[in-house]
Amino acid sequence: MADRSLVMIRRELPADIDAIRAVTAAAFRTAPHSAPPVEPNGDPGEATLVSWLRDDDSWVPQLSLVAVEDDVVAGHVVATRAYVDAEPALGVGPLSVLPNHQRSGIGTALMHAVLGAADALDEPLVGLLGDPAYYRRFGFVPARPLGVSAPDPAWGDAFQVRRLTSYAGATGTFRFAAPFDRLSAEAVS
């Protein structure tokens, strides 16, 4: 059997913060879609977004997870407080894997881990904006047929939700944590 290195998923620790920024920046620098930087020639906006989320009331410390491979932070995912009208929900993202660690299952493992942790915390619903071809495998479905409107109607089926055990059918408009709006407002175009 080929050698396989150990990948461990755990909550972020204070010592991981710089590495998480680097992983997020590297992943989105090579991604087909990324947010413009907040500062001219700076990191992709997603790297700044993670820092803003960490300083925001929406931060859920149990739901910022790193994937560590051979003592290197190779991936990160975060879910933060969101709402469907007045009902609590979670927004997932950014999800990032270092380019030279991609396609080995780390993104999949991180997504399963954050969904399992959210379910264990009795969270009812997780929303995200992403490619349905990728997120379908985790049980995400287009939100609109469930009565959940995207923050921006132009997102169409790319705005998806994953129902968890406590889901009770909340309907209304999905609102991500405030730093997501700040990113749209402050990005350098």
Ligand X SMILES: CC(C)(COP(=O)(O)OP(=O)(O)OC[C@H]1O[C@@H](n2cnc3c(N)ncnc32)[C@H](O)[C@@H]1OP(=O)(O)O)[C@@H](O)C(=O)NCCC(=O)NCCS
Residues that bind ligand X (CB under 6 A): 27-28, 31, 93-97, 102-108, 130-131, 133-134
**Residue 79 C-alpha from the chain's centroid:** 5
For ligand X, give the closer residue by CB, 87 or 104: 104
Spatial separation of the C-alpha atoms in residues 40 and 43, rounded to whole Å: 9
Angle among Cα 84, 182, 88 to the nearest 5 degrees reads: 20
Q: Tell the smallest beta-carbon distance from residue 74 to ligand X (Å).
A: 8
Q: Tell the smallest beta-carbon distance from residue 77 to ligand X (Å).
A: 8
Spatial separation of the C-alpha atoms in residues 105 and 74, rounded to whole Å: 11
Is-contact 93 54, C-beta < 8 A? no
Torsion of CA 16, 20, 22, 25, to 10 degrees: -170
Q: Tell the smallest beta-carbon distance from residue 113 to ligand X (Å).
A: 12
Q: Tell the smallest beta-carbon distance from residue 50 to ligand X (Å).
A: 11
- Beta-carbon neighbour count of residue 32 at 10 Å? 6
For ligand X, give the closer residue by CB, 83 or 135: 135
For ligand X, give the closer residue by CB, 122 or 131: 131
For ligand X, give the closer residue by CB, 22 or 31: 31
